[in-house]
Amino acid sequence: MEPINLSDYERAAQEKLPPEIYDYYAGGANDEMTVQENRSAYSRIRLQYRVLRDVSRRSLATAVLDHPLSLPILIAPTAFHCLAHPEGELATARAAARAGTIMIASMAATTAVEEVAQASAAIPGAPRPWLQLYILPDRGFTTEMVRRAEAAGCGALVLTVDSPVFGQRERDIRHRFHELPNGLSLANFTAAGGARPPQLEFKADLTWQDVSWLRATTNLPILLKGIVHPADACLALAHGADGVIVSNHGGRQLDTAVATIEVLPEIVDAVAGRLPILVDGGVRRGTDVLKALALGAAAVAIGRPVLWGLAVAGEAGVSSVLELLRRELDLAMALCGCASIEEINRELLRL
């Protein structure tokens, strides 16, 4: 049967993918409590809707950092799309572009950033992709990645800040999943050329000074991804960030970390409108998107559901995932008495 929600897509993807690939995508750190909590935290928030409001004309359009979007749902950075489908990140980029939203391409992609940007640019009027970035011990290569993102026309850099070291993912340990199969590679690294391309190596001594260094290195907008504490959101502002993504890495780094939707309002209040705040982790329904917007997020980002759609039906599957969420959000807005994104606020929530 045709999937009618994101859970259907996950079940279909699990049937289609080899177990080690499904577990790589689905798995989290240790007991995966944070993976589960990211989702279940949304279910504890209730909607206290309004009635007798004219919702005959509704718009999901919004903007993030002056990038116009047709809906407040971005594609979060996830690695290794070619494990899900031969067209990999190219299919994802085209689906995002056709949906009128932004794909945040992973630095650990199986397709180079230049090709992802070209795929997006082939769709007239499509938003430009952003590039997710790690600051590596090899500072020269990090600088090179920034320059490549600029040259490719990326709209922003998304610096992941919650990974000084790799988390322990026990599903991968059991499968001995430690490297890509033959024929696939970390395309952004192999594209660098040279006798020995750099490796994806986390930087354990990463500090706020590295954020300041990146700010001085590029004029592109910079968002910090991996913020779960309001004090760090304020520090992000002080060190020149243009936005924050509230994220716990999909529960893949530190188990028992707080659910992102629970800390979102604290961070929104601390920043007080001085930065746009996005959130990822656990978004599976249009009502989840509405709740995040009501708590002050400018938009949400989805990761695993995109991979499920990609695995099931390539570009068409990713497009379907985005359209399912679009329709669910539109319905939720109508039933809550909201005709536009701007009308969604905390008044609608029973926390």
Cα distance between residue 274 and residue 65, in whole Å: 12
Q: Cβ contacts of residue 275 below 8 Å, gap of 6+?
A: 233, 236, 237, 241, 242, 243, 244
Out of 81, 85, 239, 249, pick the active-site residue.
249
Contact indicator for 152, 117 with CB cutoff of 8 Å: yes
Residue indicated by tokens 């919004």:
62
For residue 249, indicate whether it is catalytic: yes
Contact indicator for 340, 59 with CB cutoff of 8 Å: yes
Stated length of the chain? 351
Contact indicator for 38, 305 with CB cutoff of 8 Å: no
1: buried, middle or exposed (CB in 10 Å: 19+, 13-18, 0-12)?
A: exposed
Dihedral pair phi/psi, residue 74, rounded to 5°: -100, 165
How far is CA 15 from each of CA 81, 310, 322, 338, rounded to the nearest angstrom?
17, 13, 21, 38
Which H helix or E strand runs over 223? strand 222-227
Would you please indicate which residues are annotated as catalytic (active-site) residues? 249
